[in-house]
Amino acid sequence: DTAVSQTPKYLVTQMGNDKSIKCEQNLGHDTMYWYKQDSKKFLKIMFSYNNKELIINETVPNRFSPKSPDKAHLNLHINSLELGDSAVYFCASSQGPAGRWQYFGPGTRLTVT
Amino acid sequence: KNEVEQSPQNLTAQEGEFITINCSYSVGISALHWLQQHPGGGIVSLFMLSSGKKKHGRLIATINIQEKHSSLHITASHPRDSAVYICAVIKPASGSRLTFGEGTQLTVNP
């Protein structure tokens, strides 16, 4: 019974394609996040949703669009993929938007060729 | 310059050694997290601190708010402690946005 799950774990695609990564949490949390870890292993927040409402939107290209159909799900859709989008994307969740213990998903390794 | 700096970047130790990883930050914070990233890539939260000291098993985390510094200590290190340890802070009025350090790669040899 995984707390935060992501699909797929690996994603290899060509430049210009559109792809989605899905995230689900069964912890009953109301806040979910997307983080990007680059090739140097540096983590950076991309988006955060609280109760399906966008509360953090860092400087991320418009090609990235998060969607939260309900509190338990936060998906990330990426249009017109570029080589620089290659990274590991982590989903996480917490209870409350005010900075609490965060639980991370296993990550999705995206490779754009 | 990154708002959160960790040292050292890489650390190699022998099994049984006492290990210290340091984190310094240049901004006001409401909390500080220590995270562990396993060789397989998974990330686990170890501690969340806003003052003082916390202990969990062989891991100890301390924070000095005045000096803007935190340390993560591992006592009696073991090869299974080999991982990347990441410091992250939450700034006031930033919601739950984590600002990360670059991580410390720890290798513990048997």
Q: What is the pLDDT of residue A57?
A: 79
Instruction: Report d(CA B110, CA B107) in Å as an integer.
Output: 10
Residue-wise pLDDT for B46-96, tens only, equals: 999 999 999 999 999 999 999 999 999 999 999 999 999 999 999 887 777
pLDDT at B15 over 80: yes
Q: Record the tokens describing residue A88, joined without a space.
A: 């590991």
Put simply, the answer to whether B84 touches A41 (Cβ < 8 Å) is yes
Q: Which residues pair with A22 in a beta bridge?
A: A7
Q: Record the tokens describing residue A21, joined without a space.
A: 């990564």
Put simply, the answer to whether B97 touches A88 (Cβ < 8 Å) is no
Q: Is the peptide bond before A106 cis (omega within 30 degrees of 0)?
A: no
Kindly report the nearest CA distance between residue A32 and chain B, in angstroms.
Answer: 10
When pLDDT is averaged across residues A87-100 and rounded to a whole number, the result is: 84
Query: Which residue of A54, A102, A110 is the best one to mutate when testing the B interface, meaning the one whose CB has the most B CBs within 10 A?
Result: A102
For residue A99, the chain B residues in CB contact (below 8 A) are: 30-31, 90, 94-98
Put simply, the answer to whether A94 touches B96 (Cβ < 8 Å) is yes
Residues 48-67 of A with CB under 8 A from B: 48, 50, 55-56
Instruction: Report d(CA B32, CA B70) in Å as an integer.
Output: 8
